[in-house]
């Protein structure tokens, strides 16, 4: 068969005359093209490394400096102040190309010019780093920009005017500063004041005072030393101790999901949608490898750190008994696919050519049409990635370290990403509110064995063509996967397109080898471990209550008329909703980013403040005038915005205390204050989902091309997880999670409180609202 010849480069048989080799020209051609493609990538990376290394300079600017030096020499003007002559005298004489005086002079001028050019680049980079360390612009009132900030913005634009590549600014980004202990402790005490009575607060003050005076100075010295030596004093410890050392299941506890476009559908053909989307994903990966993606910029001028994007593809979390590791490959030419209990390996390239969407559609249709049954133990194999990490690590070592099991597992772990073809159909029906929650549940955990939770992300495809993602959290945060998803959905909708019957454009190549079934030999003992992991995962999934809803009365457009930030508006509404739901306040986590610093990830904004609780209590009393309530709300909003800005600029609370705690463990130092701080449960964990990081289309012309964001499981067993996306001017999507096992929480009840809190706050400003 043609497929066999494409898969094997040569065959041989032993005959009486000797060994007879039979070469496959087609296979050898693909091997040759693959090698050429690999060398092209190496050359592109080398070129990008050079261009990135000299930014904001360029080879052209070097040539200009050389020409200026040579030209001034011919005009008898020594702009080097004698340095060219010194260099010329230091060059070796009397041998080969150094003998002619003209050659020596030109070489000396080239060396001098290169030195001047390199010095200029170093100066510009240090100047840019100094400018990027200025964060005063964040604390200025909207529309009231100071002269200093305007001058700063002009300087930034001048120094970064040349079109940057993805990683051009990395070495110019400032390091995350280590806050003063006294400032962090003071902000911490202020954050817990509304949660503690006088006696509890006094006890915490005493613990904080003892820590600040006795323990903290020693810990802080080590932390400052690390900040001098390391690129980022938080990120490596955060990745290791918060993510990789976690021994509980990734599913629900760590992984999160992302939804598809929910108000429009491009096609109902499952294989066709996959063809376009996976082609778009590999196009994105190609741009990523070539660094052709523009860096994300705040205000259009302040670059965000891009290092998290490096491990988006070809990355897998490998389980370990004590700690996991992240395995990242420089390239991968296939995806791993799961369908009806079978695993497949699907090649993305034919030789050096990326398969076109129509070819990929044909390949996925072949998998969908494949009638072969699962092998023993294969169907629920992925449940190992959904259960406990120790059990998975032990099973991996015992049953997947040799033979066909090792080869099949490597095909999954070395894949660009994982694709799950589901048999069910999920979508959002505005007439059926529960449909969005069911869609979210399917993405969050599926049936517990049809997602490979260790992969950097799993692309989930439903029978009706609807898609979604389930992403592992250790390698990056949600805005990174959101950047990819925006590109993919925009490319699918506005660049690739479909035929009238819903298929990909173009004609398929039927000579392509079909996807390869992965072969397993899973013994009974391993099957028992798989079943045990499945039961653990199923109990966890069954305990999750997820309530997703679309809030339509208003969005950020009308919120801005209240003269507040949309995020602060929602966060204060969450405080009001939580008090109505539970009758008390709780420690609240909101994720903010620190990507204005090199290798920055996230910081915590503690949204439950003295100001927000004062507003909530006044609302609950019901006796205050609207003007007084508006005043209290504005104070709470300003406080929240200031805390968010402090967190973004490296003056947060929790990452500093976390790192001090890690240092104390290394030194064997006991700190009751740190132990108590790090053990406090986050009963309300919240996150705003970013959008419009890439402008793939005009949202005003295509208002329905909106995703619904995504969500995550509750952080505390008796708490809530809330993610929200302020989707354009007139709607907000919410994803609320809790656990059925807690008698104190109910996701739908809390979601209804959120709705009412938003409407009640809007009513204070007499904001016109549609019917809810």
CATH code of the domain in which 633 resides: 3.30.559.10
Would you say residue 236 lies in a domain?
no
**Rounded distance between C-alpha atoms, residue 718 and residue 211, angstroms:** 30
Question: Of 103, 126, 159, which residue constitutes the final position of a domain?
Answer: 159
- The three-class DSSP label of residue 721 is strand
Would you say residue 707 lies in a domain?
yes
- The three-class DSSP label of residue 131 is helix
pLDDT band at 27; cut points 50, 70, 90: low
Q: What is the CATH number of the domain that holds 370?
A: 3.30.559.70
What are the φ/ψ torsions at residue 11 (nearest 5 degrees)? Answer: -130, 160
Average pLDDT, stretch 687-716?
Answer: 86
| Whether the Cβ atoms of residue 520 and residue 13 lie closer than 8 Å to each other | no
pLDDT tens digit sequence for 100-158: 777 777 788 788 878 888 888 888 888 888 999 999 888 887 778 889 999 999 998 88
Do 493 and 581 share a domain, yes or no? no
pLDDT band at 29; cut points 50, 70, 90: low
More confident residue, 237 or 33: 237
List, in order, residues 6 or more apart from 180 with CB less than 8 Å away: none
Locate tokens 């806050």: which residue?
179
Do 574 and 539 share a domain, yes or no? no
Summary mean pLDDT of the chain: 89
Would you say residue 38 lies in a domain?
no
- Predicted confidence (pLDDT) at residue 95 exceeds the cutoff of 90: no
Do 443 and 413 share a domain, yes or no? yes
**Rounded distance between C-alpha atoms, residue 158 and residue 319, angstroms:** 47
- Parallel/antiparallel/unpaired status of strands 588-593 and 256-259: unpaired
List, in order, residues 6 or more apart from 158 with CB less than 8 Å away: none
Locate 55 and state its tokens.
């930014």
pLDDT band at 772; cut points 50, 70, 90: very low
What are the φ/ψ torsions at residue 597 (nearest 5 degrees)? Answer: -110, 155
pLDDT tens digit sequence for 160-210: 877 888 998 998 999 999 999 999 999 999 999 999 999 999 999 999 999
Q: Would you state the pLDDT for residue 3?
A: 39
Let me know if 646 is exposed, middle or buried by CB neighbors in 10 A (0-12, 13-18, 19+).
Answer: buried
- Predicted confidence (pLDDT) at residue 51 exceeds the cutoff of 90: no
Average pLDDT, stretch 74-100?
Answer: 70
CA 212 distance to own-chain centroid: 35
Average pLDDT, stretch 22-50?
Answer: 66
More confident residue, 23 or 665: 665
Average pLDDT, stretch 649-662?
Answer: 96
| Whether the Cβ atoms of residue 134 and residue 152 lie closer than 8 Å to each other | yes
Would you say residue 381 lies in a domain?
yes
Q: Would you state the pLDDT for residue 76?
A: 75
Largest CA distance in the chain: 104
pLDDT band at 352; cut points 50, 70, 90: confident
Specify the number of domains making up the chain.
4
- Predicted confidence (pLDDT) at residue 589 exceeds the cutoff of 50: yes
List, in order, residues 6 or more apart from 1 with CB less than 8 Å away: none
Locate 348 and state its tokens.
């993305």
Q: Would you state the pLDDT for residue 23?
A: 54
Handedness of CA 77, 80, 83, 88 (dihedral sign): negative
Would you say residue 10 lies in a domain?
no
Which candidate, 661, 681, 666, 648, places its Cα nearest to that of 238? Answer: 661
First to last CA, the chain: 62
Which candidate, 347, 256, 299, places its Cα nearest to that of 3? Answer: 347
pLDDT band at 614; cut points 50, 70, 90: very high
| Whether the Cβ atoms of residue 687 and residue 515 lie closer than 8 Å to each other | no
Average pLDDT, stretch 374-399?
Answer: 96
| SS3 letters across 165-234 | CCCCCHHHCCCCCCCCHHHHHHHHHHHHHHHCCHHHHHHHHHHHHHHHHHHHHHHHHHHHHHHHHCCCCC
Question: Of 159, 193, 212, which residue constitutes the final position of a domain?
Answer: 159
Give the residue numbers annotated as catalytic, written as ranges. 473
Locate 289 and state its tokens.
């490898």
Average pLDDT, stretch 294-309?
Answer: 91
More confident residue, 257 or 31: 257
Do 262 and 377 share a domain, yes or no? yes
Q: Would you state the pLDDT for residue 98?
A: 47
Q: Would you state the pLDDT for residue 141?
A: 78
Would you say residue 39 lies in a domain?
no
| Whether the Cβ atoms of residue 72 and residue 89 lie closer than 8 Å to each other | no
Average pLDDT, stretch 384-408?
Answer: 95
Q: Would you state the pLDDT for residue 4?
A: 39
List, in order, residues 6 or more apart from 46 with CB less than 8 Å away: none
Q: What is the DSSP string of 300-359?
A: TTEEPP-GGGGGSSSEEEEP-SS--EEEE-S---EEEEEETTEEEEEESEETTEEPPHHH
- Predicted confidence (pLDDT) at residue 437 exceeds the cutoff of 70: yes
**Rounded distance between C-alpha atoms, residue 559 and residue 547, angstroms:** 24
**Rounded distance between C-alpha atoms, residue 559 and residue 542, angstroms:** 37
Average pLDDT, stretch 232-244?
Answer: 95
CA 628 distance to own-chain centroid: 41
Let me know if 656 is exposed, middle or buried by CB neighbors in 10 A (0-12, 13-18, 19+).
Answer: buried
Q: Would you state the pLDDT for residue 1?
A: 38
pLDDT band at 282; cut points 50, 70, 90: very high
Q: Would you state the pLDDT for residue 280?
A: 96
Do 466 and 523 share a domain, yes or no? yes
Q: Would you state the pLDDT for residue 771?
A: 47
Secondary element (H or E) of residue 526: helix 524-542
- Predicted confidence (pLDDT) at residue 388 exceeds the cutoff of 80: yes
Do 633 and 578 share a domain, yes or no? yes
List, in order, residues 6 or more apart from 436 with CB less than 8 Å away: 262, 428, 548, 549, 550, 708
- Predicted confidence (pLDDT) at residue 20 exceeds the cutoff of 60: no
Do 659 and 712 share a domain, yes or no? no
Would you say residue 205 lies in a domain?
yes
> Cis before residue 436, ω within 30 degrees of 0?
no
| Whether the Cβ atoms of residue 686 and residue 606 lie closer than 8 Å to each other | no
| Whether the Cβ atoms of residue 722 and residue 735 lie closer than 8 Å to each other | yes
Do 382 and 423 share a domain, yes or no? yes
Do 441 and 526 share a domain, yes or no? yes
Q: Could you tell me the residue range of the domain that residue 763 belongs to?
A: 552-606+614-649+681-692+699-771
**Rounded distance between C-alpha atoms, residue 666 and residue 679, angstroms:** 18
**Rounded distance between C-alpha atoms, residue 305 and residue 172, angstroms:** 10
Which candidate, 271, 464, 488, places its Cα nearest to that of 358? Answer: 271
Q: What is the pTM of this model?
A: 0.89
Do 621 and 749 share a domain, yes or no? yes
Do 655 and 644 share a domain, yes or no? no
**Rounded distance between C-alpha atoms, residue 308 and residue 472, angstroms:** 13
Which candidate, 347, 441, 419, places its Cα nearest to that of 735? Answer: 441
| Whether the Cβ atoms of residue 434 and residue 426 lie closer than 8 Å to each other | no
Region of poorest pLDDT, from 68-82, 282-296, 372-386, 724-738? 68-82
Question: Of 159, 188, 217, which residue constitutes the final position of a domain?
Answer: 159
Would you say residue 253 lies in a domain?
yes
Average pLDDT, stretch 365-382?
Answer: 96
pLDDT band at 5; cut points 50, 70, 90: very low
Do 715 and 755 share a domain, yes or no? yes
Locate 664 and state its tokens.
């104390």
**Rounded distance between C-alpha atoms, residue 558 and residue 754, angstroms:** 17
């Amino acid at each position: 068969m043609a497929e066999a010849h494409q898969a094997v480069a040569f065959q041989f048989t032993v005959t009486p005359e000797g060994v007879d080799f039979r070469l496959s020209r087609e296979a050898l051609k693909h091997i040759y093209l693959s090698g050429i493609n690999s060398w092209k990538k190496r050359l592109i990376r080398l070129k990008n490394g050079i261009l990135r290394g000299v930014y904001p300079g360029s080879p052209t600017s070097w040539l200009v400096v050389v020409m200026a030096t040579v030209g001034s020499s011919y005009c008898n003007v020594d702009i080097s102040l004698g340095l060219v002559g010194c260099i010329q005298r230091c060059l070796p004489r009397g041998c080969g190309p150094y003998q002619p005086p003209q050659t020596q002079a030109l070489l000396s001028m080239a060396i001098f010019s290169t030195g001047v050019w390199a010095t200029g680049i170093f100066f510009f980079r240090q100047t840019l780093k100094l400018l990027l360390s200025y964060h005063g612009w964040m604390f200025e009132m909207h529309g009231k920009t100071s002269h200093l900030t305007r001058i700063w913005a002009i300087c930034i634009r001048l120094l970064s005017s040349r079109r940057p590549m993805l990683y051009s600014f990395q070495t110019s980004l400032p390091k995350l500063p280590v806050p003063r202990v006294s400032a962090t402790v003071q902000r911490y005490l202020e954050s817990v004041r509304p949660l503690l009575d006088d006696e509890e607060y006094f006890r915490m003050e005493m613990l904080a005072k003892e820590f600040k005076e006795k323990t903290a100075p020693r810990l802080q010295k080590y932390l400052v030393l690390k900040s001098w030596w390391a690129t980022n004093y938080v990120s490596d410890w955060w990745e290791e101790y918060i993510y990789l050392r976690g021994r509980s299941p990734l599913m629900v506890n760590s992984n999160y999901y992302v939804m598809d476009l929910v108000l429009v559908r491009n096609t109902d053909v499952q294989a066709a949608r996959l063809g376009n989307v996976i082609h778009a994903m590999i196009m994105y990966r190609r741009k990523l490898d070539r660094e052709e993606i523009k860096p994300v910029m705040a205000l259009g001028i302040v670059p965000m750190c891009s290092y998290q994007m490096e491990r988006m593809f070809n990355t897998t979390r490998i389980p370990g008994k004590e700690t996991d590791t992240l395995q990242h490959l420089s390239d991968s030419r296939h995806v791993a696919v799961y369908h009806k209990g079978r695993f497949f390996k699907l090649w993305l390239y034919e030789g050096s050519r990326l398969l076109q969407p129509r070819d990929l559609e044909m390949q996925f249709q072949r998998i969908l049409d494949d009638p072969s049954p699962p092998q023993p133990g294969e169907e629920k194999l992925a449940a190992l990635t959904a259960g406990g990490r120790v059990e998975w690590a032990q099973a991996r070592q015992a049953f997947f370290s040799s033979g066909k099991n090792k080869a099949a597992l490597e095909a999954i772990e070395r894949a660009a990403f994982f694709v799950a073809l589901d048999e069910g159909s999920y979508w959002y029906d505005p007439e059926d509110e529960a449909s969005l929650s069911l869609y979210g549940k399917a993405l969050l955990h599926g049936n517990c064995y049809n997602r490979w939770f260790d992969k950097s992300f799993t692309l989930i495809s439903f029978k009706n063509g609807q898609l979604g993602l389930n992403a592992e959290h250790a390698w990056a945060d949600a805005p990174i996967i959101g950047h990819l998803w925006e590109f993919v959905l925009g490319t699918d909708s506005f660049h690739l397109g479909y035929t009238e019957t819903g298929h990909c454009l173009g004609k398929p190549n039927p000579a392509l080898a079909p996807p390869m079934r992965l072969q397993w030999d899973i013994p009974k003992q391993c099957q028992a471990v798989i079943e045990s992991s499945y039961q653990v995962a199923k109990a966890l999934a069954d305990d999750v209550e997820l309530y997703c809803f679309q809030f339509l009365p208003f969005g950020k457009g009308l919120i801005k008329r209240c003269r507040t930030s949309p995020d602060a508006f929602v966060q204060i509404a969450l405080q009001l909703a939580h008090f109505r739901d539970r009758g008390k306040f709780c420690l609240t986590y909101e994720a903010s980013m620190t990507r204005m610093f090199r290798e920055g990830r996230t910081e915590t904004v503690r949204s439950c403040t003295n100001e927000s609780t004062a507003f909530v209590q006044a609302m609950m009393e019901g006796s205050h005038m609207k003007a007084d309530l508006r005043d209290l709300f504005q104070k709470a909003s300003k406080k929240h915005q200031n805390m968010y800005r402090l967190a973004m600029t490296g003056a947060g609370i929790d990452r500093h205390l976390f790192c001090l705690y890690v240092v104390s463990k290394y030194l064997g130092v006991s700190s009751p204050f740190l132990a108590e701080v790090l053990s406090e449960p986050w009963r309300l964990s919240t996150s705003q989902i970013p959008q419009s990081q890439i402008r793939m289309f005009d949202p005003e012309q295509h208002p329905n091309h909106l995703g619904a964001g995504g969500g995550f499981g509750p952080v505390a067993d008796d708490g809530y997880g809330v993610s929200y996306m302020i989707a354009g001017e007139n709607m907000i999507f919410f994803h609320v999670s809790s656990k059925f096992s807690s008698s104190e929480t109910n996701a739908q009840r809390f979601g209804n409180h959120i709705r009412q809190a938003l409407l009640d706050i809007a009513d204070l400003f007499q904001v016109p609202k549609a019917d809810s």
